[in-house]
Amino acid sequence: MSTNLDEIIANFELLDDWDDRYRYLIELGKGLTPLPEADHNDANKVRGCASQVWLVAQREGPPGPDSVLHFSGDSDAHIVRGLVALALAIHSGRTAKEILATDAFAIYERLGLAAHLTPQRSNGVRAMMDRIKADARAAAQG
């Protein structure tokens, strides 16, 4: 995926209509690099999501707070796949320390997503963020 977080925020701010924002979120999801079928497994499945969501973390460098994590992910639902893309834009390519210090929910609120997602989808976003933070904690501790 080539869209970075600053571009996503700028594009969201240009779109006033929520139908347009949802379409943009779906487009972000379509831009995800396909997750290999072998990674659609129970170990990578995010618990707490109503839709099927898979996240894979790969550590770059030695264990510790400065190790860089790269995430890939997928979902069986179009909008949720877009939410996965947003989560990757927020966290992928950052150090474990940066990931743990990032308030992703503040970004979701800034984009207006917190107020426009169903409670079920909001719980799924929280489950995704919890999983990413857990992966960062594990990488930071080695």
| Closest to 45 in 3D by CA, of 60, 35, 32, 30 | 35
- Considering only residues 122 and 26, tell me which one the structure prediction assigns the higher pLDDT: 26
CA distance 12 to 7: 9
Distance between CA atoms of residues 30 and 82, nearest Å: 7
- Give 120: exposed, middle or buried? Use CB within 10 Å, 0-12, 13-18, 19+: exposed
The confidence score (pLDDT) of residue 12 equals: 94
Would you state the pLDDT for residue 9?
Answer: 94
- For the chain, give the percent of residues with pLDDT over 70: 98
Predicted TM-score of the model (pTM): 0.93
* Average pLDDT value for residue range 53-65: 95
Rounded CA-CA distance 3/9 in Å is 10
Catalytic residue among 25, 49, 57, 104: 49
User: What's the rounded Cα separation, in Å, for the pair 36 and 117?
Assistant: 28
User: What does the pLDDT look like over 27-45, one tens digit per residue?
Assistant: 999 999 999 999 999 999 9
Interval 52-62 mean pLDDT: 95
69 has pLDDT over 90 = yes
C-alpha to C-alpha distance for 98 and 96, rounded to whole angstroms: 5
- Residue 2 pLDDT exceeds 70: no
Catalytic status, residue 93: no
pLDDT of residue 120: 87
- Domains parsed from the chain with CATH numbers: 5-140 (3.90.1010.10)
Give the integer Cα–Cα distance in Å for 104 and 87: 8
27: helix, strand or coil = helix
Q: Which pLDDT belongs to residue 115?
A: 86
